Copies of this chain bind each other. A is one copy, B any other.
Amino acid sequence: MYKLSACSSMSCGISLPPKMILASLRGHKQGNGRCTNVPRNVNLEKLQNNYLFPEISKRELQHLEKYPNAKVISLGIGDTTEPIPEQISLSMANYAHALSTAEGYRGYGAEQGNQVLRKAIAETFYKDVAIKDTEVFVSDGAQCDISRLQLLLGSKVTIAVQDPSFPAYIDSSVIIGQAGDFQDKTGKYQNIEYMQLGPQNNFFPDLTITPRTDIIFFCSPNNPTGHAATRKQLQQLVDFARDNGSIIIFDSAYATYVSDDSPKSIFEIPGAKEVAIEISSFSKFAGFTGVRLGWTVVPEELLFSGGFPVIHDFNRIVCTCFNGASNISQAGGLACLSSEGFQAIRAVIDYYKENARILVDTFASLGLEVYGGVNAPYVWVHFPGSKSWNVFAEILEKTHIITVPGSGFGPGGAEYIRISAFGRRERIIEASWRLEKLFSMGKSPLLTV
């Protein structure tokens, strides 16, 4: 009675590249099932197979197989390590416990977030720039909101990204259908504008040669380079967006790491409210990477070309595709923004910043070109003429330290590695010592290319 013929990737797939067939065979039974008649989404076919952090995890596992007794230090994925200040964890614990009482029980909250938390975010981070609580949308993290913003924008818009940049901007763009094919030769997708960043342009794109796009993703303080754009640079960016009628999606997830007078929000720049959305997060600010809490600001002044307010459509996306962040996480977020909570968090941020200083000093003392680490928890080290996966492999092999190869953030990171400053102090010091040993006295071939 079933009309579908049995199939396998060999008999009815054909178009799969050998690597994918191999992956399928390894991970899952294949070839003994029957295919549906539903075609695979062409956008997902375009996505490159090896995404960065799973590949790093695989390399780490292989390393541990080779050196079972190695004391690996992970300065790879930017994951927080320090406990959450107790007044904050207690506020979540108390909220959670109260859910078993008639007085404390809460069901669905507003999709846009608890009103009190929205107000606290507006007052804590945007008081001087007059962002209203109704313009703040609480989320389960900036990465999730990037995809929701892509759902808002749709497949017809053009985008620009910093190169290097956090991979989710490009990957979500490919998934929604904005990008063309990936070009092996350049390491770039067609139809995406890559704005190169490096020491040659003070880590700010040369806007005189940047073509207009509808959307500009811009992260400052930057992941991975650690560079915080100056006020002058951001004013140039806002002017550029206004000249072109573009929308900036400004990722300020690391804003609380800024210690000089670089802007912490795009809305500090005059004219930004008419051209910018800001996404941000409690993850690196309060150690909420696993608790999941973030926010997005969409100003009322931001209008599509037809005059329709972007905030209306984002509200609709949030109501349809999301159902609010966990109310327990939101209780924690509120505690972070009390004056005691904020002060306790500051101490944790300062701890990570001291880690970053140690790492910057280590690389600098070895005569390496080192960037970032001042206004961000990331240190960006240049190995001119090297390939970043080779640098990653050499450091792992000789020091048992996990870093992130810069090419994972785009072709602009090809000669760099990113070092995360998240970690226990003693591990950071140990890592510095191992790196000094590797790089001092010209022992590493990395210094001689």
Q: Which residues of A contact B (CB under 8 A)?
A: 1-4, 7-16, 20, 23-24, 27-31, 33-44, 47, 51, 54, 77, 79-86, 88-90, 92-94, 96-102, 104-109, 140-141, 143-144, 146-147, 151-157, 168, 171-172, 175-177, 214-215, 239, 241-247, 271, 274-275, 287, 289-292, 300-309, 311-313, 316-317, 319-329, 332
Q: Nearest residue in B to A37 (C-beta to C-beta)?
A: B245
Q: Is A99's CB under 8 angstroms from B80's CB? A: no
Name A41's contact: one of B79, B141, B154, B290 (CB within 8 Å): B154
- A291 and B291 CA atoms in complex are apart in Å by 12
Q: Which residues of B contact A13 (CB under 8 A)?
A: 306-308
Cβ contact within 8 Å between B306 and A51? no
Interchain CB contact under 8 A, A24 and B79: no
- Considering the complex of A and B, which 7 residue pairs feature the smallest CB-CB distances, nearest first? A37-B245, A13-B307, A9-B307, A41-B154, A147-B321, A92-B96, A89-B100
Task: Check if B172 sits within 8 Å of A321, measured CB to CB.
Answer: yes
Partner of A307, one of B8, B146, B275: B8
**Chain A facing B: main interface SS:** loop
Q: Of B38, B77, B301, B319, which is within 8 A of A246 by CB?
A: B38
- Show 11 residue pairs from A and B whose CB-CB distance is below 8 angstroms, ordered by the A residue: A2-B242, A12-B307, A13-B307, A16-B308, A34-B242, A36-B241, A36-B304, A39-B156, A84-B105, A175-B317, A291-B327
Between A36, A40, A104, A247, the greatest number of chain B beta carbons within 10 A of the residue's beta carbon is seen for: A36
* Of the residues B30, B96, B156, B327, contact of A89 by C-beta under 8 Å: B96
Q: Are B151 and A147 in contact (CB under 8 A)?
A: yes
The answer to whether A320 and B172 touch (CB under 8 A), given A154-B43, A287-B107, A304-B39, is yes
Cβ-defined contact, A292 with B324, below 8 A: yes
Quote the shortest CB–CB distance from A155 to chain B (angstroms): 7
> Inside 8 A of A84's CB, which chain B residues have their CB?
99-100, 105
CB distance from A385 to the nearest CB of B (A): 32
Whether B97 and A93, one on each chain, are in contact in the complex, defined by CB atoms closer than 8 angstroms, is: yes
Given contacts A80-B107, A326-B326, 6 further A-B contacts (CB under 8 A): A2-B243, A9-B306, A79-B107, A84-B99, A84-B105, A290-B326
Contact status of A41 and B313, CB under 8 A, knowing A140-B140, A291-B99, A306-B12: yes
* B residues near A328, Cβ cutoff 8 Å: 92, 96, 291, 326, 328-329
Give the CA-CA distance A429 to B13 in the complex, in Å.
59
Closest-by-CB residue of B relative to A154 is: B41
**A157 to nearest B CB, angstroms?**
6
**CB <8 Å contact, B105 and A83:** yes
Q: Across the interface, which residues of B come within 8 angstroms of A141, CB to CB?
A: 323
Chain B residue numbers with a CB within 8 Å of A102 are: 83
Cα distance A171–B319 when bound, in Å?
10
A39: which B residues are within 8 A, CB to CB?
156-157, 214, 304-306
Task: Given A1-B239, A108-B290, answer yes or no on A37-B244 (Cβ-Cβ < 8 Å).
Answer: yes
Asked, given contacts A105-B81, A316-B47, whether A155 binds B155 with beta carbons under 8 Å apart, the answer is: yes
Supposing A327-B291, A328-B92 touch, asked if A24 and B320 sit within 8 A by C-beta, the answer is no
Residue from B3, B47, B292 in contact with A326 in the complex, judged by beta carbons closer than 8 Å: B292
Q: Are A175 and B151 in contact (CB under 8 A)?
A: yes
Question: If A44-B154, A274-B33 touch, does A321 touch B175 (CB 8 Å cutoff)?
Answer: yes
* A105 & B292 in contact (Cβ 8 Å cutoff): no
A323 in contact with B105 (CB, 8 Å): no
Contact among B28, B246, B311 with A37 in the assembled complex (CB-CB below 8 Å): B246
Question: In the bound complex, do residue A304 and residue B38 qualify as a contact, i.e. CB atoms below 8 Å apart?
Answer: yes
- The complex places the Cα of A92 from the Cα of B13 at a distance, in Å, of 46
Closest residue of B by beta carbon distance from A214: B38
Which of chain B's residues has its CB closest to A98's CB? B89
With beta carbons under 8 angstroms apart, the residue of B93, B108, B152 that contacts A79 is B108
